[in-house]
Structure 1
Amino acid sequence: MEGFLYQATIYLAAAVIAVPIAARLGLGSVLGYLAAGILIGPVLGLVGHETHDLQHFAEFGVVMMLFLIGLELEPRALWDMRHRLIGLGGLQVGVTTLAVMAGFMALGYVWQIALAAGMTLALSSTAIVLQTLSEKGLIRTAGGRSAFSVLLTQDIAVIPMLAVLPLLALPSLGLVANPDGSLTRSSLEEDAHHTLSLVEGLPGWGVTLVTLGAVAAVILTGVYLTAPVFRFIHSARLREMYTALALVIVVGIAFLMNLVGLSPALGTFLAGVVLANSEFRHELESDIEPFKGLLLGLFFITVGAGIDFGVLLQAPGTILGMAATLILIKGVILFVIGRAFGLRRRRLMLFTLSLAQAGEFGFVLLSFSSQQQVIPPVLAERLLLVIALSMLITPLLFLLYEWLSKKMGDPATEAQEADEIDEDGPVIIAGIGRFGQIVNRLAQSSGVRTVVLDNDMRTIEVMRRFGFKGYFGDPTRPDILRAAGLEKARVLVAAMDSPAAVTQLVHYARKSRPDLHIIARAHDRRHVYELYQAGADDIVRETFDASLRAGRYVLENAGFSDYEAARLEQAFYHHDREAIRELAELWDPEVPADQNADYVTRAKELEKDLEAALHAVLSDDDEAA
């Protein structure tokens, strides 16, 4: 027990010290975790052999991360990504595997070893790349989405790779020489033991059926069983039960995937996609997020602590050269493929530099290759170091991307591309801030379908967390409006924060659709006149109704009855509405209002009419009484 507490204290203290320093220096949390691992492992020797075992446990953070990513992706969105998955991802895995294989064959290795090394090093680090893209706000850029597509393809590719590796086994690797010159099986093979498996010993068709059955079970459970179980848990009224259920879902699916020989990360990602439309999605996200962050941090620490500097110092030039060559080869391949798929400038740089390393699944394939006697132990040790070093270099590649972006004259973070709009409705709401969200809630709660557009990604993400669907994009762009269904919509609500953007949108919409009913948010009286001339049907000053209600409260507390105050409020509202229309006809944007004689004269007349109208209301009430 004391040993466990000591190790836990070391790992947590290292993270608490190193990560904030790295974050303050602008290096990102991943490099901080890696540096913490190097410090407590190879440098100070505070942790030892348990690091390797702990790494297998910490890899569960990657599983949880992919589950959360799946929750953010609807099945339709995943289907829309199929071209990137097959094209970008498939080409990257295939071409990189062949290129690395050719390199190892040139060094004199047989093709089986070369192919196994190529498959192992073709994979990139899902954990480091996605974590860094999220921290730097790059995950939704064109380069970030392309990188995610490749990472997802790589996770899927692990399945056939695990199936192929046993076929590459070299029996001679399992033999060792005895002192008398005889050959016997290595202890590695003797110590091999059977693990729990549902497919071991089955023919090929049986393995396929069981695997498909496991995937179907995950999908059916997510569709039909999750909701009743959540409602059952809800009846207990215990917050910790939600967390327990979320962990059961993730751990159970990962265990099932292991039983049938699939990647646990892929299985939980599939479950996340299935549950993306679930009413319990946000509950699952909030329950899993803390575990994901802690385990991912632990994983990065173990990668740093697991670097064997003894093996590195035996052949530093060879190992560092292999790591640099790997990054160069993958970088060139990614650059060519990304360019072929239309990525340019900083998008292409982000795509290239973010995926140029080896990844955590490489550790899994390398361990499996050693067990299956595909890769000799000496090479396996060196490849482990190559993978770890390339992952350690990845945060520096992101810093290189930021530097290159500045040199190109581009900002370090790329402007996010608009979402693909996959639905339409009778009402388009442009702008979902404090004004537009109330309009949207009222419409949707009344059963009216809306299409919400906003050019603030944070606002859209907050809206999605509360279960409302919205699309990121500039509502003033004609292509975005057409995609949102402007040609078929009955109502357009222009509710953006920028008065100029609202006016621009009303102008364009009225030109495109003379029959469209346009409701516009006005910043002030001058803006009302602009919108009136632009063609808005209903114009709502953002503070007018609230101010009118406050005025009513003033009257109620100044001696008027509630009924009188309400009547005066209504009279003021109708008079002001008509007055605004009249003054809009006289308003000239080229002449200041106080210098427009006709405007000033009519404004004075209307103000006297207002006083007369309010007195008439009170007189009518007195006569009625």
Structure 2
Amino acid sequence: MTDALLLTFVFLVAGVISVPIASRLGLGSVLGYLLAGIIISPLLSLFDVNIVSIQHFAELGVVLMLFLVGLELNPKKLWALKSKLFGLGGGQVVLTALLIMAAGMLLEQEWRTSLAIGLILALSSTAIVIQTLTEKGLMKSDGGQSSFAVLLAQDIVVIPMLAFIPLLATPELITALSHSSDVAQAGNHSDSVSLVAGLEAWQTALVTIGAIAVVILSGRFLVTPIFRFIAVAQLRELFIAAALMFVIGTTLLMSLVGLSPALGTFLAGVVLANSPYRHELESDIAPFKGLLLGLFFMTVGAGINFSLLFSHFPSILGLTLGLIMVKATTLFILGRIFSIRGSNKWLFALGLAQAGEFGFVLLSFTVSNAVISQEVADILLLVVALSMLLTPMLFILYDRVIAPRYATDQTVGTQDDMPDDNKIIIADLWTNGQHHRQPFTIGRLSLDRD
């Protein structure tokens, strides 16, 4: 109990101190959390803390974030993104994977290993990108919507990746892995539970489709009656518990059938986008999302292997910068092809130029399936972490260098431009429970019937 409290206190102190400082310096909260993790990493090593297990728990923050994003998108809006989802997102994954595969082969990696590396590094960080775009108010921009479409396409692509990567196993690594597993199996057993373990392909497909159907039907027919029943008690904590129950239950179901939990909860959010309790779900889950995302970013910073980093610093830094340049160039070209204009194409290219948090999972998956050696995977883990660490710097570059150059192209409307039939919203101001009698004008807004 004491150890858990001490560990919780350390993470909270690190976040509370570093994030406001980083925000004041214009670095953003994500970089603040990453730096906080780096600062406390020696202390965590002293306490012999298992960073990986904490990171797996903190990934629930990514799941909650995508659920909230899904709540903002009804099926009609999602369908409007189909061209960007399949064309832009699919094109990004294929082109980036092929370019990185070619680079890996030039570095004398076997083609199957190079292809696996390309697929893994083609993914971007959903957590960092969406969190940063939301903080900066860029989520609704063309660059933000295009970035979201690509991230969603990447989450979808992860599913066939998990089925395809084991086919890239190399004979040498298979022999080495079987020998090491025979040695390590003395007294070890796996306690993971799966609904698709040992099933044939068609049976797995049926179970997967059934799980998706359960999520859709539950969101459509069960959630609203459950919340209506809970509303009778008039206890806010029950609403919070029910919201978390639904999201965690969806995450668990997706994990049991081998699907991406983030993708499953996003689908659940889309199903509930038209629910009368959408705003309650959003307000109840948002604080947990923020705390868990902060914890996730701190574990990324704390998980950096500095001894390996410093011993191979020039090569790891070169690989990281090379990855960012390859992805940014590919994204920039695709942005021009898909008519992303002005500063938005730079936002799109720079924002998605890093590797993603799912790379940690996939690298471990490739090692266990004899696709990538442990030595190569350790270096790639540092490349993934370092690219995520540099991402806030890319957003700062966009904010301070690129966006101002396009500012003159932005037309900012004034009150004189507004039609006379626009509505005026008047609201009373409440501060600390006291009513200010003088009303104030929020602004003149055109009300949308939708």
Same fold, judged at TM 0.5 (above): yes
Distance in 2 separating the partners of 1:46 and 1:96: 39
Pairs within 5 Å for 1:527-538: none
Q: 1:36 and 1:194, CA in 2 relative to 1: closer, same or farther beyond 3 A?
A: same
Distance in 2 separating the partners of 1:233 and 1:270: 24
Distance in 2 separating the partners of 1:429 and 1:256: 52
Q: Structure 1 regions of 5+ residues with no counterpart? A: 418-427, 437-454, 464-468, 472-625
Amino acid at match of 1:268: T
Tell me how far 1:45 sits from its aligned partner: 5.0
Q: Do the aligned residues in 2 keep the contact of 1:175 with 1:186 (CA within 8 Å)?
A: no
Amino acid at match of 2:190: H
For 1:389, the equivalent position in structure 2 comes to: 386
* Residue of structure 2 aligned with 1:314, choices 311, 319, 340: 311
For 2:212, the equivalent position in structure 1 comes to: 215
For 1:71, the equivalent position in structure 2 comes to: 71
Amino acid at match of 1:434: I
Distance in 1 separating the partners of 2:82 and 2:56: 31
Q: 1:415 and 1:271, CA in 2 relative to 1: closer, same or farther beyond 3 A?
A: farther
For 1:337, the equivalent position in structure 2 comes to: 334
Amino acid at match of 2:130: L
Tell me how far 1:43 sits from its aligned partner: 8.2
Tell me how far 1:249 sits from its aligned partner: 0.4
Alignment partner of 1:123: what SS?
coil
For 2:151, the equivalent position in structure 1 comes to: 151
After superposition, the C-alpha distances for 1:153-174 in whole angstroms (9 at most, x for unaligned) are 1111111111111222234324
Distance in 2 separating the partners of 1:221 and 1:280: 14
* Residue of structure 1 aligned with 2:302, choices 290, 301, 305: 305
After superposition, the C-alpha distances for 1:211-246 in whole angstroms (9 at most, x for unaligned) are 111111111111111111111111222221111100
Distance in 1 separating the partners of 2:126 and 2:189: 29
After superposition, the C-alpha distances for 1:40-71 in whole angstroms (9 at most, x for unaligned) are 11588566442111000001000000000000
Distance in 2 separating the partners of 1:323 and 1:286: 37
For 1:542, the equivalent position in structure 2 comes to: none
After superposition, the C-alpha distances for 1:248-294 in whole angstroms (9 at most, x for unaligned) are 10000000001111000000000000000000101100110010000
For 1:54, the equivalent position in structure 2 comes to: 54
Distance in 1 separating the partners of 2:395 and 2:258: 34
Q: Do the aligned residues in 1 keep the contact of 2:425 with 2:443 (CA within 8 Å)?
A: no
Distance in 1 separating the partners of 2:135 and 2:274: 25
After superposition, the C-alpha distances for 1:51-103 in whole angstroms (9 at most, x for unaligned) are 11100000100000000000000100001110010111010011111111111
For 2:28, the equivalent position in structure 1 comes to: 28
For 1:296, the equivalent position in structure 2 comes to: 293
Amino acid at match of 1:78: L
After superposition, the C-alpha distances for 1:97-120 in whole angstroms (9 at most, x for unaligned) are 111111111211112211111111
For 1:8, the equivalent position in structure 2 comes to: 8
After superposition, the C-alpha distances for 1:361-408 in whole angstroms (9 at most, x for unaligned) are 111111111121211000110010000000000000001111333552
Q: 1:380 and 1:42, CA in 2 relative to 1: closer, same or farther beyond 3 A?
A: farther
Distance in 2 separating the partners of 1:226 and 1:327: 42
* Residue of structure 2 aligned with 1:370, choices 362, 367, 378: 367
Q: 1:343 and 1:406, CA in 2 relative to 1: closer, same or farther beyond 3 A?
A: closer
Q: 1:102 and 1:42, CA in 2 relative to 1: closer, same or farther beyond 3 A?
A: farther
After superposition, the C-alpha distances for 1:2-42 in whole angstroms (9 at most, x for unaligned) are 11111111110000000000111111100100010111115
Q: Do the aligned residues in 2 keep the contact of 1:61 with 1:291 (CA within 8 Å)?
A: yes
Pairs within 5 Å for 1:108-187: 108-176=108-176, 185=181, 187=183
Amino acid at match of 2:331: L
Alignment partner of 1:434: what SS?
strand
Residue 351 (structure 1) aligned with residue 348 (structure 2): yes
Q: Do the aligned residues in 1 keep the contact of 2:143 with 2:344 (CA within 8 Å)?
A: yes
For 2:432, the equivalent position in structure 1 comes to: none
Tell me how far 1:431 sits from its aligned partner: 2.9
* Residue of structure 1 aligned with 2:271, choices 268, 274, 285: 274
Amino acid at match of 1:357: Q
Distance in 2 separating the partners of 1:372 and 1:61: 28
For 2:97, the equivalent position in structure 1 comes to: 97
Q: Answer 1 or 2: higher relative contact order, Cα 8 Å, separation at least 6.
A: 2
Distance in 2 separating the partners of 1:206 and 1:44: 44
For 1:88, the equivalent position in structure 2 comes to: 88
Q: 1:65 and 1:406, CA in 2 relative to 1: closer, same or farther beyond 3 A?
A: closer
Residue 404 (structure 1) aligned with residue 395 (structure 2): no
Distance in 1 separating the partners of 2:155 and 2:400: 30
Residue 431 (structure 1) aligned with residue 422 (structure 2): yes
Q: Do the aligned residues in 1 keep the contact of 2:18 with 2:36 (CA within 8 Å)?
A: yes
Distance in 1 separating the partners of 2:4 and 2:152: 35
The percentage of aligned residue pairs carrying the same residue is 53
When normalised by structure 2's length, the TM-score is 0.90
Distance in 1 separating the partners of 2:83 and 2:176: 48
Q: Do the aligned residues in 1 keep the contact of 2:342 with 2:406 (CA within 8 Å)?
A: no
Q: Do the aligned residues in 1 keep the contact of 2:336 with 2:345 (CA within 8 Å)?
A: yes
| Structure number with higher helix proportion | 2
Pairs within 5 Å for 1:522-561: none
Distance in 2 separating the partners of 1:321 and 1:186: 37
Alignment partner of 2:402: what SS?
helix
Q: 1:285 and 1:146, CA in 2 relative to 1: closer, same or farther beyond 3 A?
A: same
Q: Structure 2 regions of 5+ residues with no counterpart? A: 414-418, 428-441
Q: Do the aligned residues in 1 keep the contact of 2:350 with 2:395 (CA within 8 Å)?
A: yes
Q: Do the aligned residues in 1 keep the contact of 2:88 with 2:338 (CA within 8 Å)?
A: yes
For 1:230, the equivalent position in structure 2 comes to: 227
Amino acid at match of 1:307: I
Alignment partner of 1:433: what SS?
strand
Q: 1:176 and 1:341, CA in 2 relative to 1: closer, same or farther beyond 3 A?
A: closer
Tell me how far 1:131 sits from its aligned partner: 0.6
Alignment partner of 1:288: what SS?
helix
Distance in 1 separating the partners of 2:219 and 2:286: 19
Amino acid at match of 2:6: Y
Distance in 2 separating the partners of 1:276 and 1:429: 32
Q: Do the aligned residues in 2 keep the contact of 1:326 with 1:357 (CA within 8 Å)?
A: yes
Q: Do the aligned residues in 1 keep the contact of 2:52 with 2:303 (CA within 8 Å)?
A: yes
* Residue of structure 1 aligned with 2:357, choices 355, 360, 367: 360
RMSD: 2.6
After superposition, the C-alpha distances for 1:286-334 in whole angstroms (9 at most, x for unaligned) are 1100100000000000000101111111211111111010001001100
Q: 1:434 and 1:99, CA in 2 relative to 1: closer, same or farther beyond 3 A?
A: same
Alignment partner of 1:198: what SS?
coil
Distance in 2 separating the partners of 1:429 and 1:130: 36
Q: Do the aligned residues in 2 keep the contact of 1:142 with 1:416 (CA within 8 Å)?
A: no
Amino acid at match of 2:219: G
